[in-house]
Amino acid sequence: MTVPRSRRLRQKGKRVRSAQAQEVKAQALAARKAVKRPAPPAAPVILEWCAEHHDKNAPEDAPPRFPALSFITERPYKTTFVLVHVFFFGALLASGKTQAWFANNTGAAVAWFMVAGTIGLGMICGQSLGNVTFYQIDLEGERIVLHLPGSADRIRIMRLSFDAITSVCPFQYSSYNSPCGIDISYLDDRLKLRKVRVPNVVPETLVDAHMDALRPALGYKIEETVCHDT
């Protein structure tokens, strides 16, 4: 039986269209494979640093009962040094020979008092420089949480608001030394300028990332890295 010519043409057209469709499908599949997948998003920067062997979950040290005497806990060795010398000086004054010498040398005694008093006050009331063992940047809360060594196995926790911070200055002891440290200056509750230091053990890349995260909030307070060997 002979198939009509029109039917043969229709069947041939179907086969051609089917082949063309398969070819187009194969080209589209190859094109999708050729397109590179977008790179995964970069991991978020962890806005904190913790010193080795520091337990950030250690109990917090109780605040001093008398805040005006907080310098005793902040600088116990310097305070002890001054108190020992004051006691020793008082014992000398109790001696009759010492009193006679001061009576005969009034100018030297006054000068000695002034020098000793200036040195003592400078040691006790001078700018504090605590060593930070942990810090965390809280951008939402607009503050930096700092851990400093406390009494026994406890820690002192400072919460510095961005408004209280006056400057944040990264530093390096050598241009060939990749670790960095950070000096953070701030105003305390009595508007006295103080400073705490993150030791020179933080990786430079981490410090750069943290400075970039802080720069939109602190602006000019973020200073350039200081290299002390230049």
Note whether 158 and 206 are same-domain residues. yes
Residue 23 lies in a domain: no
Q: Which residue, among 197, 20, 46, 211, has the nearest Cα to 136 in the 3D structure? A: 46
Note whether 163 and 103 are same-domain residues. no
**Whole-angstrom distance, CA of residue 48 vs CA of residue 135:** 6
Residue 13 lies in a domain: no
What backbone torsions phi and psi does residue 19 show, to the nearest 5 degrees? -65, -40
Residue 113 lies in a domain: yes
Note whether 145 and 192 are same-domain residues. yes
Between residues 73 and 23, the one the model is more confident about = 23
- Name the pLDDT band for 128 (thresholds 50, 70, 90): very low
Residue 179 lies in a domain: yes
8 by DSSP, 3-state: which?
Answer: helix
| Residue 70 reports pLDDT greater than 70 | no
CA angle 202, 208, 212 (to 5 degrees): 135
- Residue 77's pLDDT is 57
pTM of the full structure:
0.60
Note whether 142 and 163 are same-domain residues. yes
The domain of 91 spans: 76-125
CATH of the domain at 60: 2.30.29
Note whether 150 and 216 are same-domain residues. yes
Note whether 183 and 151 are same-domain residues. yes
* Torsion angle of C-alpha atoms 100, 103, 104, 107, degrees rounded to 10: 140
pLDDT tens, residue by residue, 201-228 = 999 999 999 999 999 999 999 999 998 7
pLDDT tens, residue by residue, 129-183 = 568 999 999 999 999 999 998 777 888 899 999 999 999 999 998 877 678 999 9
**Rounded mean pLDDT of 89-111?**
65
Q: Best-predicted range by mean pLDDT among 86-95, 106-115, 167-176, 207-216? A: 207-216
Note whether 53 and 146 are same-domain residues. yes
Residue 1 lies in a domain: no
